[in-house]
């Protein structure tokens, strides 16, 4: 019976229609004598932002920028005007802007007003943009030393600027995490093949439900369209270099949804050309909803 439920969830998530999560079961187990309780960071994006008058519902849960005063990596320039909620979706477009004499990528970012902490299940239904830019859903501690990447993807098949094939990336989702030391800067993330999830069709072609069960500091399970696709467990893969001092992924984190032009790609000229950016549809990332659950003892009210 569980297999049938997962298949149904997958079918719901591969249409281009907006569907709220109420008919999509949580694929991860809550645990013995426990059930999932929806958390206030969840958002169906069934409203409009910006609004002409009054206060937008966006600010009940999010700020329309990064959680610190930083405008983004590399050629990225996050801008509040590039955060739009319409037609039941969060939309983050990208466009060209000249800034301090440099061609940069104007795009958007939102960050949760409140932090989340394990154990939890978090999942987004998203449609990756047809772009060499990164479409992201992630969590980051406020001291920027611990990060869980729920969704990181690059949707385009080709880079005009680099004159290079990109189909390897368009067929893969990056499901990973980072632990950092900030001074002197050091960064660890898993490099195993399992951190790149292959799909026969490019991921950009459909909406997909992508989530992570953050069980505890040493265990992460990743789910795509209702199916368990990756498990990461233990010190040898979570923090083999000891950057967390033996605590693992233990810190509270903010939820972040954004588009960005990442340094490691733009340094290889894998950044949108002016002509590519003129295609607004290709360069708009859409998130239908995001939901967050905590496991609670069975019998407690679950909204």
Residue of 152, 276, 278, 281 marked catalytic: 152
Whole-prediction pTM value?
0.92
Burial class of 275 by CB neighbour count within 10 A (0 to 12, 13 to 18, 19+): exposed
Encode pLDDT of 164-203 as tens digits: 999 999 999 999 999 999 999 999 999 999 999 999 999 9
Neighbours of 209 (CB within 10 A): 25
* More confident position, 216 or 14: 216
User: What's the pLDDT score for residue 96?
Assistant: 97
**Spatial distance between the Cα atoms of 100 and 121, rounded to a whole number of angstroms:** 42
For the segment 288-292, the average pLDDT, to the nearest whole number, is 98
54: confidence class by pLDDT, cuts 50, 70, 90: confident
Q: 17-21, 39-43, 49-53: which has the minimum mean pLDDT?
A: 17-21
Confidence of residue 155 (pLDDT cuts 50, 70, 90): very high
Give the mean model confidence (pLDDT) for residues 25-35.
97
Span 214-219, average pLDDT:
98
Q: Please check whether residue 108 is in contact with residue 136, taking contact to mean a CB–CB distance below 8 angstroms.
A: no
Q: What is the mean pLDDT of residues 90-107?
A: 95
pLDDT bracket for residue 301 (50, 70, 90): low
What is the rounded average pLDDT of the residues 54-77? Answer: 95
pLDDT at 19: 52
pLDDT of residue 11: 39
Q: Which of 91, 123, 147, 260 is catalytic?
A: 147
Between 96-100, 106-110, 114-118, 205-209, the lowest mean confidence (pLDDT) is in 96-100
Tell me what pLDDT residue 20 has.
85
- Three-point CA angle 78, 16, 24, nearest 5°: 95
Query: How many other CB atoms are found less than 10 A from the CB of residue 41?
Result: 19
Give the whole-angstrom CA distance, residue 237 versus residue 219: 10
Q: What is the average pLDDT across 80-94?
A: 97
What is the structure's pLDDT at 207? 97
In three-state secondary structure terms, 236 is helix
Residue 50 has pLDDT above 70, yes or no: yes
Q: At residue 194, what are phi and psi to the nearest 5 degrees?
A: -65, -15
pLDDT (mean) for 157-163: 98
Does the active-site annotation cover 147? yes
Nearest CA to 178 among 112, 75, 109, 262?
262
pLDDT over threshold 90, residue 217: yes
Confidence category of residue 2, pLDDT binned at 50, 70, 90: very low
Tokens representing 266 are 């733009």
**Mean pLDDT estimate for the chain:** 93
Domains, the chain, in order of start with CATH, read 2-297 (2.60.120.200)
What integer is the mean pLDDT of 58-68? Answer: 97
| Beta strands per DSSP E along 22-75 | 34-38, 62-63
Query: Is there a catalytic annotation at residue 91?
Result: no
pLDDT digits over 243-271, tens only?
A: 999 999 999 999 999 999 999 999 999 99
pLDDT band at 14; cut points 50, 70, 90: very low
Query: ∠ at Cα 196 (193, 202), nearest 5°?
Result: 135
Give the mean pLDDT of 141-160. 98
């Amino acid at each position: 019976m569980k297999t049938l439920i997962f298949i149904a969830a997958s079918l719901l998530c591969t249409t281009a229609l907006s569907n709220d999560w109420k008919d999509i079961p949580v694929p991860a187990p809550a645990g013995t004598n426990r059930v999932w309780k929806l958390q206030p960071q969840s958002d169906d994006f069934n409203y409009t932002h910006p609004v002409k008058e009054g206060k937008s519902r966006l600010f009940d849960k999010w700020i329309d920028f990064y959680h610190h005063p930083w405008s983004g990596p590399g050629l990225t320039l996050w801008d509040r005007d590039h955060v739009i909620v319409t037609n039941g979706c969060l939309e983050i477009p990208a466009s060209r802007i000249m800034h301090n004499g440099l061609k940069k990528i104007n795009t958007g970012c939102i960050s949760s007003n409140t932090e989340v902490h394990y154990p939890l299940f978090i999942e987004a239904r998203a449609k990756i943009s047809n772009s060499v830019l990164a479409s992201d859903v992630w969590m980051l501690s406020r001291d920027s030393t611990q990060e869980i990447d729920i969704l990181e993807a690059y949707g385009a098949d080709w880079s005009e600027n680099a004159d290079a094939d990109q189909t390897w990336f368009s067929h893969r989702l990056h499901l990973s995490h980072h632990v950092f030391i900030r001074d002197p800067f050091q960064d660890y993330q898993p490099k195993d093949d399992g951190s790149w999830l292959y799909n026969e069709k490019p991921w950009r072609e459909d909406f997909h439900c992508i989530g992570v069960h953050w069980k505890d500091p040493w265990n992460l399970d990743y789910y795509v369209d209702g199916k368990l696709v990756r498990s990461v467990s233990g010190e040898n893969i979570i923090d083999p270099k000891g950057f967390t001092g033996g605590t693992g992924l233990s810190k509270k984190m903010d939820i972040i949804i954004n588009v960005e032009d990442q340094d490691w790609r733009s340094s290889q000229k894998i950044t949108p050309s002016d002509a590519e950016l003129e295609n607004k549809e290709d360069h708009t990332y859409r998130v239908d909803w995001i939901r967050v659950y905590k496991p609670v003892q069975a019998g407690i009210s679950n909204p």
